[in-house]
Structure formats: structure tokens, C-alpha cells
Amino acid sequence: MLNGADNDVCLHLRTGPIARSGLRRLVIEKQAELSAAGLRPGGCAALNLPPSLTYVATLLAVWRIGAQAVLLDHRLTPYEVDAAAARLGVRVLVGVGRVHGSPLDVFHDVTETITVREEGGQAATPHAVLQLSSGSTGPSKVIGRTAADLVAEVERYTRIDGVPLRGERIILLPSMVHVLGLVGGLLYGLHAGVELVPPRRLTGDSILEAVASGSAPATVLGVPFHIGLLNSVADPPKLSQLKRMTTGGELVPATVSSAFDAKYGVPLGNMWGMTELGVIATDLFGEHRPAVMPAPGIEVREVDGELRIRRPESPYVGLSDPARWADGWLHTKDAGRVDPDTGLVTVLGRLDSQVSVGGLKVDLTEVEHTLTELPGVAAAVVLYDREITAFVQLTGDGTGQSVEAALAERVAGYKRPRAMHFVPALPRTTTGKLVRDRAVLRAAIP
């Protein structure tokens, strides 16, 4: 992954550029520290670090040793970290000793600690990395990916039209603990000779400052939440370096994409992917929204309204649920359709968003998108909880009465939520996805 000229810049942090030679030296130093702590080939190490140079170097050092890396979000509580480490047999835990700088920093200056867990041992599976799913719809799943899986995904990126090219830049917003930031950002960037530039702060102005900080073309990589940050900039400058923005994660409401187009005039690309597989389908030029084209080597089919992806082995660790993977096909639990003529895939939302009310079919995703596009609504989640229920976060000028009145004009009575809860802020996962767990949403009600 670190191929290229020694003086090529691979990361550009607020402290300055990091050349490949400098990163390579740091990886070798971290490798020595981990080896001294007892990490061996086939061992298991967990990283519980925020986005940082320390995180990048430690992850690559774990793989250089030939050990398995368990990626734990730095925002987990000590209890959650201990539970995950015990569940996965972690031998070496790399955590935070001290964080220097502001909590609002995107990349942090971290002093790490290395803890040896005597009860840990060798990795129980041959996977190079274990990740936890986002938990947006319930408890996280443990997902394993081999070195071959990761290499195949990086190569898949190189064959997608519109990805950043050698000598260009990625303005990196998503966490590298999760698949978009890890593979679509870090690993692809290191492989393809694309410079990774995290902004100083997670604000719209800071993202634009990162774009303006260099002369090479820049692609902003993020999730729909980050589009909102850019759309919040009142009068953004015209930046010739801005090539496009590419987002993964949730579907992007039409009003959000239209606002971005009006402000920036560059393509807003869309990606559909899963932790289990990485990138599945893309539309990086925004030509087919909301449809996407399967990435090279990916086979998608529609079965009874569900999208399924061919995958030879189950990606789940300690789970053999045929409702998620069976007979070489991954069940995405996403509703959608595949155009038989073009192959374009349209993701319609979660399969469990289809409900029957009084014998009439209601697509909760449709209701949610309509609600989200109303004036005065910042975000919304619609689910079925004995009745259609909406949880709504308002903008500064929004009111519950105006939102309910506007929704009544756009949605038939049988589709409208019977319960509407207005909350100060909707809960989100660490990747910025809206949480859809009923218990968590109920707890957010004032």
C-alpha cells in the first residue's frame, strides 16, 4: 500500500505534509513497539484510537506484523471496549493515553497506550480486519474481511470512473474505523498516490479551506451529513480545485442534492456500500440519481424486492444466519430494483420500511423523504411502532404545527404518522447515520 516515491506526500495534516518515507519510518517504529508488547503473526490487536497519524501508522504496523486488526470507534465507552475485546479475544489493545488539541479537530494528535490482555491470544479467524456494523438499526454485527477482500476492493476503486487519480487529493471526512474512510479513503489513497487531506475542523468553512489549501484537484469524501455542512456555508467561494463530492451511507434527499448543486456546481457523486463488502455501486457523476451502477466485479440481483449481492463466503464472525447470507448471496435487507436493460440499481430503503396499514401498503421511506424535504425540518426518522411514528428534528424556524400542516398537503391520510415526536437532536451513529433503534429514539424525546 505504500508503493511510490519516498518524497511523495500521502497525508497533509495541520502540522504539515507527511511523505511516504516518513510514514514508512513511523510504521516500522510502531511495529517494534507492538512486537515488544508480544503481538505476533496471527495475533489479534484492537485499535481504540481517534483519526490520527498514530491510528494510521499503528493499523499498518499490525498488518505488517501479520496480525488481525480489530477496529473500535474511539467514542465507545470503556465498558463497550472491554466487552468487544473479550468477545473477540484481543491480545493487545492500543488506546488513547492523551489527546492534544481541540475535540473539534478532524485528525488528532494522540499519545497512545498499549495494554496487553493476558486472557487474549491468537486471532480466532484468518481475517485481516474485524469491524463492527454501524448499529443504526440495532446491535452491531462483527464483520470480517481478509487481506484479499481489501485488496480486491481497492482494485475495484481503481476501475470506477470518476475516482480521484494519482496526484489529486481526497478531502477525508468519514472515520477510518468504518469502511468508506478506511478503504475508499486511506487504503485507496495510499495505493493510488492520492494525497489525503483531513480538514482542521468538521465545519463547512473548514472543509472549503482544505480544498483551497492546495492546487491539485480535490474530491470531498463523506456522508450525507457532510453535505449539510457544506450547504450551511452562506456564500461559499468559487474554488477551481473542487472536482466533486462523493457520499456514501444514507440516501440523499432531492432537496439536499439540489441545494448542493446550486451552491457548488460540481458533481455530487453517490455510492452504495456495506461494511460486509465495501463499495457495491456508484454514480460519481450524479447522472442517474437515485440509481447507481454496480462496481466492476459486483453482481447484484433483486429477489422478492430485496437486493442481494454475490459473495462466496459469509462475512459474519460467529454468526450463521441464513437470513443474512446463504448459498453464496449476501442479503442486504435493502429494498430495491435492478433495471434489466441497463443494470442500474435503485435502492429504495430498508426492506422493513414496507408496512401494511388497514390493508394498504405504506413505504415508510417515502414518508420519511417527504417529511425531510419539508421547510423547517432538519432530519427525520419514520418507523412502525404499533403505528406509523415519526421522530423529527426541526430547524431554527420550524414548528411542529407548520410541519404537520405541510405534511398533510403532501401525504395521504393513511400514510401520515399517527404519532409525531419533535426532538432537539436525532441520535446518530458514529458514522453520521440516523439511528433507527426504537428504544434509542424514544429516549431522545424530551
Grid coordinates belonging to 18:
507527511
Tally of domains in the chain: 4
Domain-located, residue 69: yes
Does residue 54 register a pLDDT over 90? yes
Q: What is the pLDDT of residue 65?
A: 98
Sign of CA pseudo-dihedral 140, 149, 174, 107 = positive
Q: Is 216 a residue whose pLDDT tops 60?
A: yes
- Judging by DSSP bridges, how do beta strands 44-47 and 242-247 pair with one another? unpaired
Residues 182 and 279 in one domain: yes
What phi and psi, each to the nearest 5 degrees, are found at residue 255?
-65, -35
d(CA 3, CA 192): 9
Share of the chain above pLDDT 90, in %: 69
| Most confidently modeled range among 215-229, 318-332, 356-370 | 215-229
**What local confidence, expressed as pLDDT, does residue 361 receive?**
74
pLDDT tens, position by position, 256-310: 888 999 999 999 999 999 999 999 999 999 999 889 999 999 999 999 989 999 9
Domain end point (choices 90, 110, 145) = 145
Alpha carbon dihedral 183, 186, 190, 191, in 10-degree steps, equals: 10
Give CA–CA dist 67/121, Å, rounded: 11
- Which letter, b or e, does each residue of 261-288 get, where b requires 16 or more Cβ atoms within 10 Å of its Cβ? eebbebbbbbbbbbbbbbbbbbbbebeb
The pLDDT value given to residue 180: 93
Confidence of residue 353 (pLDDT cuts 50, 70, 90): confident
Residue 366 located in a structural domain: yes
pLDDT of residue 137: 44
- Give me the chain's average pLDDT, please: 91
Cβ atoms of 187 and 154 within 8 Å: the answer is yes
386: left (phi over 0), alpha (psi -120 to 50) or beta: left
Choose between 35 and 438: higher pLDDT.
Answer: 35
CA dihedral 6, 8, 10, 11 (to 10 degrees): 100
303 and 206 in one domain? Answer: no
Do 367 and 427 fall within a single domain? yes
Distances (CA, A) of 228 to 201, 203, 224, 256: 15, 10, 7, 7
Alpha carbon distance 38, 233 (integer Å)? 49
Distance of CA 198 to the CA centre of its chain: 15
Residues 336 and 421 in one domain: no
Query: Is 2 contained in some domain?
Result: no
Run of H or E residues at 271: strand 268-274
Residues 253 and 191 in one domain: yes
* CA–CA gap between residue 166 and residue 217 (Å, rounded): 10
Say if CB 435 and CB 225 are below 8 A apart.
no
Per-residue pLDDT at 130 exceeds 90: yes
Of 145, 174, 189, the last residue of a domain is 145
Best-predicted range by mean pLDDT (152-156, 223-227, 424-428): 152-156
Residue-level pLDDT at 209 = 97
Final residue of a domain: which of 145, 172, 196?
A: 145
How many angstroms separate the first and last alpha carbons of the chain?
Answer: 48
Q: With respect to residue 98, please indicate whether it lies within any of the assigned structural domains.
A: yes
Q: Which domain holds residue 76?
A: 9-145
Spatial neighbors of 409 by CB under 8 A, at least 6 apart, are none
d(CA 243, CA 151): 26
In a domain, 3, yes or no: no
**Cα–Cα distance for residue pair 174/433, rounded to 1 Å:** 11
Checking if the pLDDT of 364 tops 90, the result is no
SS3 state of residue 322:
coil
Q: Looking at the domain assignment, is residue 4 inside a domain?
A: no
C-alpha cell at position 220? 470531498
- As beta bridge partners, residue 108 has 52
CA–CA distance, 5 with 299 (Å, rounded to integer): 36
d(CA 77, CA 310): 36
Q: Tell me, what amino acid is at 164?
A: P
DSSP string for 167-235: T-EEEE-S-TTSHIIIIIIIIHHHHHTPEEE--SBSSHHHHHHHHHT-SS-EEEEE-HHHHHHHHT-SS
- What burial class does residue 3 get, using C-beta atoms within 10 Å of its C-beta: 0-12 exposed, 13-18 middle, 19+ buried? exposed
Residue 207 within a domain = yes
The answer to whether residue 136 scores a pLDDT higher than 50 is: no
pLDDT at 354: 74
Task: Characterize 362-379 residue by residue with b for buried, 16 or more Cβ atoms within 10 angstroms of its Cβ, and e for exposed.
Answer: bbbbbbbbbbbbbebbeb
Surface-to-core class of residue 260, CB atoms within 10 Å of its CB (0-12 exposed, 13-18 middle, 19+ buried): buried
421 and 334 in a single domain? The answer is: no
If asked whether residues 203 and 262 sit together in one domain, one would say yes
Closest CA to 418 of 393, 441, 395, 388: 388
Q: Are residues 36 and 167 in the same domain?
A: no
**pLDDT band, residue 404 (cuts 50/70/90):** very high
CATH of the domain at 223: 3.40.50.12780
Give the full edge-to-edge strand order of the sheet including 142-145.
Answer: 109-116, 92-100, 44-47, 68-71, 129-132, 142-145
| Percent of the chain residues past pLDDT 70, beyond the cut | 96
Query: How far apart, in whole angstroms, are the C-alpha atoms of residue 377 and residue 398?
Result: 6
Q: Does residue 406 sit in the same domain as residue 283?
A: no
Instruction: Please name the residues in contact with 300: beta carbons below 8 A apart, sequence gap of 6 or more.
Output: 280, 281, 294, 307, 308, 309, 338, 345
Q: What CATH number is attached to the domain comprising 31?
A: 3.40.50.980
The answer, yes or no, to whether residue 80 has pLDDT greater than 90, is no
Going by pLDDT thresholds of 50, 70 and 90, the confidence category of residue 436 is: confident
Residues whose CB falls within 8 Å of the CB of residue 79, separated by 6 or more in sequence, listed in order: none
For residues 22 and 140, membership in a common domain is answered with: yes
My answer on whether 327 and 407 are in the same domain is no
- For residue 44, being part of any structural domain is answered with yes
Instruction: Tell me, yes or no, whether 19 and 104 share the same domain.
Output: yes
